Chain A
Amino acid sequence: MPGFKIDHIQYKKNNLKVEFSADTLEKVEKIIARYPAECRKSALLPVLHIAQEEFGGYLSVDVMDYVAVILGIQYIEVYEVATFYSQFYLEKTGKYVIEVCRTGPCAICGGEKISEYLQKKLKISDGETTSDGLFTLREVECLGACGYAPAMQINTEFYEHLTVDKIDTILDLLTKNTNTEKPEGSRWTDKFF
Chain B
Amino acid sequence: MTTEVVNQESAHNAHHALPIARLDNVRTYYPIRRGVFSRTAGYVRAVDGVTLNIYPGETLGLVGESGCGKSSIGRTLLRLEDVHEGRIWFEQEEITHFSERRMKPLRTQMQLIFQDPYASLNPRQRVGELLAEPLRAHRLSVNAEIAAEVDRLLELVGLPRSSKDRFPHEFSGGQRQRIGIARALSVQPKLIVCDEPVSALDVSIQAQILNLLQDLQKELGLTYLFIAHGLGAVKYISTRIAVMYLGQIVELGDKNRLFDSPRHPYTKLLLDANPVSHPRLRVREKVVLDGEAPNPASPPRGCRFHTRCPYAQAKCREQEPQLDGSIHAAACHYPLW
The yes or no verdict on A and B being binding partners is no
Binding site for B on A (CB under 8 A): none
